[in-house]
Amino acid sequence: MTTMPALDPIAHTRTTASSPAAIRAVDVRKSFGDNVVLDGVDLTVEEGAVFALLGPNGAGKTTMVRILATLLEPDHGDIRVAGHDVTREADAVRDVIGVTGQFAAVDELLTGRENLALMADLHHLARPRSGQRIDELLERFDLVDAADRVAMTYSGGMRRRLDLAMTLIGAPQVIFLDEPTTGLDPRSRRTVWEMVRGLTDDGTTVFLTTQYLDEADRLADRVAILDGGRLIAQGTTQELKRLIPGGRIDLRFADAAKQRAGAEALQVPVPDGEAVALQVPTDGNVATLRRVLRELDESGVDVDELAIHDPDLDDVFLALTGRHDENEEEAHS
């Protein structure tokens, strides 16, 4: 097993980096003292795309967002958002971005409507138009009934919705969402997902970070996996899944005798446990499936149920980071 396939999608991105991009970062490095948080990250996000930066806690996701959102200066790197350099043209970047951080950034002592009005004033929007926009956003984020209550009384989900509405009031071209659903209940998560998908309908570029693989899978056109300050893979979710030959065919039988016969025909081990099932590893192509079916037919074994299990991002992530860790252990021993 080699680590090279995992790097292919990154190489692919580099070759397309000359096309217009909402975000382009080359060799981003950031350390806090001796602690290297970002160790040479390259990434490109096309205009209008949803890009997910995936990684465990402490991988450097938030640091990356804070650098892109002009909250933190990088130690090194050429970083452009909507064509503007984040360090030298920070104000131009601030003009076109919207940021929703990990913790809801609302003013607790102001009402929902006042929070939105505060943002409208800080975006220097003209009054009559801003009032209209505030009403629209209250409607869109289901906050009309709570509009005149102070945010302190809001639930976690309501706060997050208000936070997103505040991010949108300036009609940003690029939106950063740092773990937008962390700490939310499943229903609120679903609502946030719908809203994020709604954003791209307006042509907005979305850069989100998440620890949840299903979230990246559902929302993102492209995913990059960050681990220990380095991107270990980048590509579409489909491309990433293809990197892992972890697919399998699940077979279920009526009884143990048929299970044993099947195992013999396909030359796979009988798993421990009570389920009368077999798992056949596959690279996902049709020829393999045809071979499995033919061999079962030829041995006259009846199968009750057949399912093809595609690797999900969870498998991708575990395979990539697992291999990474093994390499480290080998290097140290």
Partner 1 sequence: MTASYALRDSGTMLRRNLRHLQRYPGLSLFPILGPVVFLLLFVYVFGGTLGNGITPGGGRDAYVNFLTPGMLLLAVVGAANTTAISVAKDMTEGIIARFKTMRIWRPAVLAGHVLGSLILTLVSLAVTIAVALLIGYHPAASPLQCLAALGLLVLLAVALTWLTVALGLVAKSVETASNLPMFLLILPFLGSSFVPVQSMPAGVRWFAENQPFTPITNTVRSLLAGEHVGSTGITAIVWCLAITAAAYMWARHLYNRRPAG
CB of 56 to partner 1, least distance (A): 21
Chain residues in the site for partner 1 (CB under 8 A): 66, 69-72, 91, 94-95, 97-99, 101-110, 114, 118, 121-124, 150, 166, 170
Find, among 331, 74, 62, 104, the residue nearest to 211 by Cα: 62
CB of 145 to partner 1, least distance (A): 20
Find, among 295, 294, 259, the residue nearest to 279 by Cα: 259
CB of 129 to partner 1, least distance (A): 16
Instruction: Pick the closer one to partner 1 by CB: 172 or 235.
Output: 172
CB of 122 to partner 1, least distance (A): 5
- Tokens coding 251: 């077979």
Instruction: Pick the closer one to partner 1 by CB: 96 or 270.
Output: 96
Contact 298, 265 (CB under 8 A): yes
CB of 196 to partner 1, least distance (A): 18
Q: How many CA atoms lie within 13 A of 14 on its CB side?
A: 10
Instruction: Pick the closer one to partner 1 by CB: 93 or 292.
Output: 93
Instruction: Pick the closer one to partner 1 by CB: 184 or 232.
Output: 184
Q: How far apart are CA 221 and CA 46, in angstroms?
A: 10
CB of 69 to partner 1, least distance (A): 5
Instruction: Pick the closer one to partner 1 by CB: 91 or 330.
Output: 91
Q: How far apart are CA 204 and CA 51, in angstroms?
A: 11
Q: How far apart are CA 85 and CA 94, in angstroms?
A: 11
Query: Distance between alpha carbon 212 and the CA centroid of its chain, in Å?
Result: 7
Q: List, in sequence order, every residue forming a beta bridge with 50; answer none if it has no partner.
A: 206
Instruction: Pick the closer one to partner 1 by CB: 109 or 307.
Output: 109
Query: Torsion-angle region of residue 41: left (phi > 0), alpha (psi -120 to 50) or beta?
Result: beta
Containing 224, the helix (H) or strand (E) segment is strand 222-227
